[in-house]
Amino acid sequence: MYEQIARNKRVTFLLIFGFAVLIALVTAAVAVLFDAGAYAVPIAVIVAIAMAWGSYWWSDKVALSVARARPADGPEFQRLHNLVEGLCIAAGLPKPRVYYIVDPAPNAFATGRNPKHAAIAVTTGLLERMNRVELEGVLAHELAHIKNYDILLQTIAVTAVGSVVLISDFALRFMFFGGRRRGSNNDAGGIVGLIIMLVAVVFLIFAPIAAKIMQMSMSRRREYLADASGVLLTRYPPGLISALEKLRDDKAVVNHAPRATEQMWIESPLNEKKDHRGSWLDRAFSTHPPLEDRIAALKEM
């Protein structure tokens, strides 16, 4: 377990570097399209550093804001706080901030940059549908993500993928609908410039795909590990098994869950992924293992 946590930390910083490089390349491509000239490289470096720094410090706030999460402060959330506190004592973790999301779909996610700066958010649908042991199983799964340092990796990926998509989309739309690159195509320099511009356009088209592939490179084994770690924490596999079965059978989708945040949730919140059988393409590009496989793995414990 400790070896896996150390590996997660190493992979996290490698992924931060990889996303920073990708954002720098995307920014450089935009600068080329708008003829920033010698300023392209410093602009790209500054944007990449700013994005990487911002992702580390504020990505959890962005994720909670996008999901429209609210602090779970009322007395109606006392059971939720009691379960989180008990599990944190058992796991030796500081208690994370607890949020709720007004949404009928049962789901939950954890976010943050480390166990001392973490948060758990659950939907009202989860609170309504899960009994005590099932809710405990879900919370233990999310606390396992915190303890295993999966949360930083997931949250930074959300911010970075979103940034790449937004920058690429803005640049392409601006170029095709009125934006023009200065410079002439009447000489050899102009031809070289045109080739560079075409390369930049192709890169901007495929950059979001590259970002998504990097996001999916974070092995789905993290979900299996979080399931196993959560069960070790509760000492009661049937609780999480029953919770996953309810998630499998429920077809409701989370209203405020952009595609970039898919990997953060305990199961995919997207509409097209609610058919848990899915096509081979869905399985190949899914951020989560099929719930049936996760349930089967837990039943073998």
Q: Which residues are catalytic?
A: 142
Q: Compute the distance between CA of residue 236 and CA of residue 210 in angstroms, rounded to an integer.
A: 40
For the beta sheet containing 70-71, the strands, ordered from the edge strand earlier in sequence to the opposite edge, are 70-71, 97-101, 117-123, 108-114
Q: How many angstroms from the chain centroid is the CA of residue 157?
A: 5
Q: Compute the distance between CA of residue 301 and CA of residue 298 in angstroms, rounded to an integer.
A: 5
Asked whether the beta carbons of 211 and 164 are under 8 A apart, the reply is yes
Which amino acid appears at position 198 of this protein? L
Q: How many angstroms from the chain centroid is the CA of residue 42?
A: 28
Q: How many angstroms from the chain centroid is the CA of residue 98?
A: 18
Hey, what are 92's tokens?
A: 């030796």
E strand or H helix at 121, and its extent? strand 117-123
Nearest to 96 by CA among 114, 78, 108: 114
Asked whether the beta carbons of 129 and 104 are under 8 A apart, the reply is no
Hey, what are 298's tokens?
A: 């837990």
Neighbours of 225 (CB within 10 A): 19
Tokens 């869950």 sit at which residue? 257
Hey, what are 52's tokens?
A: 């990487």
